[in-house]
Amino acid sequence: MLNCREVTRLLSESQERTLSLSERMSLKVHLLICAGCRNFGKQMDALRQIARAYVKGANERRDEPDD
Amino acid sequence: MSKVEAIPECVGQAANESNSLLADSGFLEVLRRQMLKFATLQLSDPNLAEDAVQEALIGALRNARSFAGRAALKTWVFAILKNKIADILRQKQRTIDASSLLREDEEDEDFASLFNQKGFWQADQHPAAWPHPEEALREGEFWLVFQSCLEKLPGNQARVFMMREFVELDAHEICETVGLSTGNLHVMLHRARLRLRECLEDRWFLAGEQPC
Protein backbone atom coordinates (compact mmCIF):
# COMPACT_ATOMS: atom_id res chain seq x y z
CA MET A 1 0.00 0.00 0.00
CA LEU A 2 1.12 3.54 -0.69
CA ASN A 3 2.37 5.70 2.14
CA CYS A 4 1.61 9.41 2.58
CA ARG A 5 4.81 10.52 0.95
CA GLU A 6 4.02 8.54 -2.18
CA VAL A 7 0.42 9.65 -2.14
CA THR A 8 1.34 13.33 -1.95
CA ARG A 9 3.74 12.77 -4.81
CA LEU A 10 0.95 11.29 -6.94
CA LEU A 11 -1.42 14.08 -5.96
CA SER A 12 1.18 16.60 -7.02
CA GLU A 13 1.86 14.75 -10.28
CA SER A 14 -1.82 14.62 -11.10
CA GLN A 15 -1.52 18.38 -11.67
CA GLU A 16 0.85 17.62 -14.56
CA ARG A 17 -0.31 14.32 -15.99
CA THR A 18 -3.23 11.93 -16.03
CA LEU A 19 -2.66 9.17 -13.52
CA SER A 20 -2.99 5.55 -14.58
CA LEU A 21 -5.94 3.49 -13.50
CA SER A 22 -3.94 1.55 -10.95
CA GLU A 23 -2.43 4.75 -9.55
CA ARG A 24 -5.90 6.21 -9.18
CA MET A 25 -7.15 3.10 -7.44
CA SER A 26 -4.27 3.02 -4.98
CA LEU A 27 -4.83 6.70 -4.31
CA LYS A 28 -8.49 6.19 -3.67
CA VAL A 29 -7.87 3.45 -1.15
CA HIS A 30 -5.36 5.55 0.74
CA LEU A 31 -7.53 8.66 0.72
CA LEU A 32 -10.41 6.73 2.23
CA ILE A 33 -8.45 6.27 5.39
CA CYS A 34 -6.16 9.31 5.48
CA ALA A 35 -7.62 12.75 6.22
CA GLY A 36 -4.20 14.41 6.02
CA CYS A 37 -3.71 13.32 2.42
CA ARG A 38 -7.31 14.22 1.56
CA ASN A 39 -6.61 17.72 2.80
CA PHE A 40 -3.36 17.77 0.87
CA GLY A 41 -5.25 16.89 -2.30
CA LYS A 42 -7.68 19.75 -1.83
CA GLN A 43 -4.79 22.07 -1.12
CA MET A 44 -3.21 21.22 -4.47
CA ASP A 45 -6.30 22.62 -6.17
CA ALA A 46 -6.28 25.60 -3.84
CA LEU A 47 -2.62 26.30 -4.64
CA ARG A 48 -3.41 26.35 -8.32
CA GLN A 49 -6.33 28.74 -7.78
CA ILE A 50 -4.16 30.94 -5.64
CA ALA A 51 -1.39 31.05 -8.25
CA ARG A 52 -3.81 31.90 -11.04
CA ALA A 53 -5.45 34.61 -8.95
CA TYR A 54 -2.03 36.04 -8.13
CA VAL A 55 -1.03 36.31 -11.76
CA LYS A 56 -4.33 37.99 -12.50
CA GLY A 57 -3.45 40.62 -9.93
CA ALA A 58 -5.78 39.60 -7.12
CA ASN A 59 -3.22 40.87 -4.64
CA GLU A 60 -3.58 44.38 -6.04
CA ARG A 61 -7.32 44.45 -6.45
CA ARG A 62 -9.25 46.79 -4.27
CA ASP A 63 -12.94 46.25 -3.78
CA GLU A 64 -13.90 48.00 -6.95
CA PRO A 65 -17.60 47.96 -7.70
CA ASP A 66 -18.43 45.90 -10.77
CA ASP A 67 -20.27 48.08 -13.20
CA MET B 1 -6.92 36.71 -24.82
CA SER B 2 -8.21 39.06 -22.22
CA LYS B 3 -11.69 40.25 -22.89
CA VAL B 4 -12.34 43.87 -23.43
CA GLU B 5 -15.68 44.50 -21.92
CA ALA B 6 -16.18 48.18 -22.61
CA ILE B 7 -19.73 49.06 -23.54
CA PRO B 8 -19.75 51.62 -26.38
CA GLU B 9 -21.19 54.47 -24.30
CA CYS B 10 -18.55 53.94 -21.67
CA VAL B 11 -15.58 53.95 -24.01
CA GLY B 12 -14.82 57.62 -23.52
CA GLN B 13 -15.00 57.26 -19.80
CA ALA B 14 -12.85 54.14 -19.75
CA ALA B 15 -10.26 55.82 -21.92
CA ASN B 16 -10.19 58.76 -19.55
CA GLU B 17 -9.70 56.46 -16.64
CA SER B 18 -6.93 54.53 -18.31
CA ASN B 19 -5.24 57.78 -19.30
CA SER B 20 -5.27 58.77 -15.68
CA LEU B 21 -3.96 55.32 -14.76
CA LEU B 22 -1.05 55.84 -17.07
CA ALA B 23 -0.42 59.21 -15.53
CA ASP B 24 -0.43 57.58 -12.10
CA SER B 25 3.27 56.95 -11.83
CA GLY B 26 2.91 55.39 -8.39
CA PHE B 27 0.66 52.67 -9.71
CA LEU B 28 2.86 52.04 -12.74
CA GLU B 29 5.94 51.82 -10.60
CA VAL B 30 4.38 49.22 -8.31
CA LEU B 31 3.24 47.25 -11.30
CA ARG B 32 6.65 47.46 -12.90
CA ARG B 33 8.37 46.26 -9.76
CA GLN B 34 6.00 43.32 -9.36
CA MET B 35 6.50 42.28 -12.94
CA LEU B 36 10.22 42.63 -12.66
CA LYS B 37 10.31 40.34 -9.66
CA PHE B 38 8.25 37.79 -11.48
CA ALA B 39 10.35 38.02 -14.65
CA THR B 40 13.64 37.93 -12.78
CA LEU B 41 12.67 34.78 -10.92
CA GLN B 42 11.55 33.23 -14.17
CA LEU B 43 14.52 34.14 -16.27
CA SER B 44 17.26 34.37 -13.64
CA ASP B 45 18.75 37.18 -15.69
CA PRO B 46 18.05 40.75 -14.53
CA ASN B 47 18.80 42.30 -17.92
CA LEU B 48 16.57 39.96 -19.88
CA ALA B 49 13.90 40.43 -17.25
CA GLU B 50 14.14 44.21 -17.47
CA ASP B 51 13.81 44.06 -21.26
CA ALA B 52 10.82 41.74 -21.13
CA VAL B 53 9.05 43.97 -18.60
CA GLN B 54 9.74 47.12 -20.61
CA GLU B 55 8.36 45.52 -23.73
CA ALA B 56 5.27 44.26 -21.92
CA LEU B 57 4.60 47.69 -20.45
CA ILE B 58 5.07 49.43 -23.77
CA GLY B 59 2.77 46.92 -25.42
CA ALA B 60 0.12 47.58 -22.81
CA LEU B 61 0.48 51.36 -22.97
CA ARG B 62 -0.03 51.23 -26.68
CA ASN B 63 -3.46 49.71 -26.01
CA ALA B 64 -4.20 51.87 -23.02
CA ARG B 65 -7.59 52.89 -24.37
CA SER B 66 -9.06 49.45 -23.84
CA PHE B 67 -8.61 49.33 -20.08
CA ALA B 68 -11.41 50.03 -17.71
CA GLY B 69 -9.37 49.96 -14.52
CA ARG B 70 -6.25 48.89 -12.72
CA ALA B 71 -7.11 45.23 -12.51
CA ALA B 72 -7.79 45.06 -16.25
CA LEU B 73 -4.56 46.82 -17.10
CA LYS B 74 -2.59 44.57 -14.83
CA THR B 75 -4.15 41.42 -16.23
CA TRP B 76 -3.25 42.55 -19.69
CA VAL B 77 0.33 43.46 -18.84
CA PHE B 78 0.83 40.11 -17.15
CA ALA B 79 -0.61 38.25 -20.11
CA ILE B 80 1.87 39.97 -22.41
CA LEU B 81 4.73 39.40 -20.02
CA LYS B 82 3.84 35.76 -19.58
CA ASN B 83 4.03 35.19 -23.32
CA LYS B 84 7.30 37.04 -23.59
CA ILE B 85 8.84 34.99 -20.84
CA ALA B 86 7.59 31.76 -22.36
CA ASP B 87 9.13 32.78 -25.70
CA ILE B 88 12.44 33.74 -24.16
CA LEU B 89 12.59 30.51 -22.19
CA ARG B 90 11.78 28.41 -25.22
CA GLN B 91 14.51 30.10 -27.23
CA LYS B 92 17.06 30.09 -24.52
CA GLN B 93 17.00 26.41 -23.58
CA ARG B 94 18.87 27.15 -20.43
CA THR B 95 20.21 24.34 -18.36
CA ILE B 96 19.88 24.23 -14.64
CA ASP B 97 22.76 22.49 -12.97
CA ALA B 98 20.96 19.23 -12.39
CA SER B 99 23.39 17.99 -9.76
CA SER B 100 22.59 20.96 -7.56
CA LEU B 101 18.89 20.28 -7.80
CA LEU B 102 18.71 16.80 -6.53
CA ARG B 103 20.95 15.84 -3.74
CA GLU B 104 19.60 12.70 -2.23
CA ASP B 105 20.56 13.61 1.31
CA GLU B 106 18.90 16.97 0.96
CA GLU B 107 15.79 15.23 -0.26
CA ASP B 108 15.68 12.96 2.76
CA GLU B 109 16.32 15.83 5.08
CA ASP B 110 13.47 17.75 3.53
CA PHE B 111 11.00 15.04 4.12
CA ALA B 112 12.21 13.76 7.47
CA SER B 113 10.47 16.56 9.30
CA LEU B 114 7.23 15.88 7.42
CA PHE B 115 7.12 12.10 7.14
CA ASN B 116 8.29 9.34 9.45
CA GLN B 117 10.52 6.51 8.30
CA LYS B 118 7.62 4.58 6.92
CA GLY B 119 6.57 7.60 4.88
CA PHE B 120 3.48 8.51 6.87
CA TRP B 121 2.80 12.02 8.16
CA GLN B 122 4.57 12.95 11.38
CA ALA B 123 2.06 13.44 14.17
CA ASP B 124 2.08 17.25 14.01
CA GLN B 125 2.40 17.51 10.24
CA HIS B 126 -0.97 16.25 8.97
CA PRO B 127 -2.29 18.80 6.51
CA ALA B 128 -5.38 20.46 7.96
CA ALA B 129 -8.59 21.41 6.22
CA TRP B 130 -8.21 25.00 5.02
CA PRO B 131 -11.29 26.99 5.89
CA HIS B 132 -12.56 28.92 2.83
CA PRO B 133 -9.38 29.23 0.77
CA GLU B 134 -11.27 31.36 -1.77
CA GLU B 135 -11.83 34.04 0.85
CA ALA B 136 -8.09 34.39 1.34
CA LEU B 137 -7.80 35.62 -2.24
CA ARG B 138 -9.55 38.81 -1.26
CA GLU B 139 -7.25 39.61 1.65
CA GLY B 140 -4.31 41.91 1.02
CA GLU B 141 -2.44 40.35 3.92
CA PHE B 142 -2.76 36.90 2.46
CA TRP B 143 -0.82 37.92 -0.61
CA LEU B 144 2.06 39.19 1.48
CA VAL B 145 2.21 35.79 3.16
CA PHE B 146 2.00 34.05 -0.20
CA GLN B 147 4.85 36.11 -1.63
CA SER B 148 7.03 35.51 1.36
CA CYS B 149 6.33 31.75 1.22
CA LEU B 150 7.30 31.77 -2.45
CA GLU B 151 10.48 33.63 -1.68
CA LYS B 152 11.42 31.06 0.92
CA LEU B 153 11.42 28.27 -1.66
CA PRO B 154 14.82 27.24 -3.00
CA GLY B 155 15.38 29.20 -6.23
CA ASN B 156 15.08 26.31 -8.66
CA GLN B 157 11.95 24.99 -7.01
CA ALA B 158 10.41 28.42 -7.12
CA ARG B 159 11.35 28.77 -10.76
CA VAL B 160 9.77 25.52 -11.95
CA PHE B 161 6.72 26.12 -9.77
CA MET B 162 6.22 29.55 -11.32
CA MET B 163 6.82 28.24 -14.82
CA ARG B 164 4.14 25.70 -14.19
CA GLU B 165 1.59 27.73 -12.26
CA PHE B 166 2.17 31.33 -13.34
CA VAL B 167 3.35 30.95 -16.93
CA GLU B 168 1.28 27.77 -17.34
CA LEU B 169 3.87 25.88 -19.33
CA ASP B 170 3.20 22.14 -19.40
CA ALA B 171 5.62 19.62 -17.92
CA HIS B 172 7.13 18.80 -21.30
CA GLU B 173 7.85 22.46 -22.07
CA ILE B 174 9.46 23.01 -18.70
CA CYS B 175 11.67 19.94 -19.04
CA GLU B 176 12.81 21.03 -22.49
CA THR B 177 13.45 24.55 -21.37
CA VAL B 178 15.48 23.87 -18.28
CA GLY B 179 16.95 20.52 -19.28
CA LEU B 180 15.34 18.42 -16.57
CA SER B 181 14.04 14.88 -16.82
CA THR B 182 10.32 14.47 -16.25
CA GLY B 183 11.05 12.53 -13.07
CA ASN B 184 13.18 15.34 -11.68
CA LEU B 185 10.55 17.89 -12.52
CA HIS B 186 7.88 15.91 -10.68
CA VAL B 187 10.13 15.66 -7.65
CA MET B 188 10.83 19.38 -7.66
CA LEU B 189 7.20 20.37 -8.05
CA HIS B 190 6.24 17.93 -5.31
CA ARG B 191 8.78 19.48 -2.97
CA ALA B 192 7.79 23.01 -3.90
CA ARG B 193 4.13 22.26 -3.21
CA LEU B 194 4.87 20.49 0.07
CA ARG B 195 6.79 23.52 1.27
CA LEU B 196 4.34 26.07 -0.02
CA ARG B 197 1.30 24.42 1.44
CA GLU B 198 3.04 23.99 4.78
CA CYS B 199 4.08 27.63 4.81
CA LEU B 200 0.60 28.87 3.87
CA GLU B 201 -1.01 26.63 6.45
CA ASP B 202 1.31 27.69 9.26
CA ARG B 203 1.29 31.36 8.44
CA TRP B 204 -2.23 31.89 7.20
CA PHE B 205 -4.81 29.17 7.28
CA LEU B 206 -4.11 28.03 10.82
CA ALA B 207 -2.46 31.20 12.00
CA GLY B 208 -5.77 32.98 12.54
CA GLU B 209 -6.61 31.11 15.72
CA GLN B 210 -6.40 34.21 17.86
CA PRO B 211 -9.18 36.80 17.54
CA CYS B 212 -8.29 39.79 15.39
Domain of residue A37 covers 4-55
Q: How far is A5 from chain B (nearest CA, A)?
A: 5
Residue A29 pLDDT greater than 90, yes or no: yes
The mean pLDDT of chain B is 77
Q: Measured on CA atoms in the order B47, B51, B53, B57, is the torsion positive or negative?
A: positive
Cβ–Cβ of A59/B143 closer than 8 Å? Answer: yes
Interface with chain A: mutation pick from B137, B194, B196, highest number of A CBs within 10 Å: B137
In a domain, A11, yes or no: yes
Residue B64 pLDDT greater than 70, yes or no: no
Cβ–Cβ of A61/B70 closer than 8 Å? Answer: yes
Cβ–Cβ of B190/A13 closer than 8 Å? Answer: yes
Percent pLDDT > 70 in chain B is 75
Mean pLDDT throughout B137-161? 88
pLDDT reported for residue B110 = 65
Indicate the pTM of the whole model. Answer: 0.69
pLDDT reported for residue A25 = 95
Rounded to whole angstroms, the Cα distance separating B17 from B176 reads 42
**Closest by alpha carbon to B160, among B102, B212, B78?**
B102
In a domain, A64, yes or no: no
Q: How far is B138 from chain A (nearest CA, A)?
A: 7
Rounded to whole angstroms, the Cα distance separating A39 from A51 reads 18
Rounded to whole angstroms, the Cα distance separating A7 from A10 reads 5
Mean pLDDT throughout B82-103? 64
- Asked which of A42-51, A55-64, B82-91, B106-115 is least confident by mean pLDDT, the reply is A55-64
Closest Cα in chain B to A18? B171
* Tally of structural domains, chain A: 1
Partners of residue B200 in chain A, C-beta under 8 Å: 47, 50
In a domain, A44, yes or no: yes
pLDDT class of B104 with cuts at 50, 70, 90:
very low
Residue B67 pLDDT greater than 70, yes or no: no
User: Mapping DSSP to helix (H, G, I), strand (E, B) and coil, where does residue B149 land?
Assistant: helix
Start-end of H helices in chain B:
11-23, 25-43, 46-62, 70-92, 98-101, 104-112, 133-136, 140-152, 155-165, 171-178, 182-200
Interface with chain B: mutation pick from A16, A18, A31, highest number of B CBs within 10 Å: A16
Partners of residue B140 in chain A, C-beta under 8 Å: 59
Residue B111 pLDDT greater than 90, yes or no: no
In a domain, A18, yes or no: yes
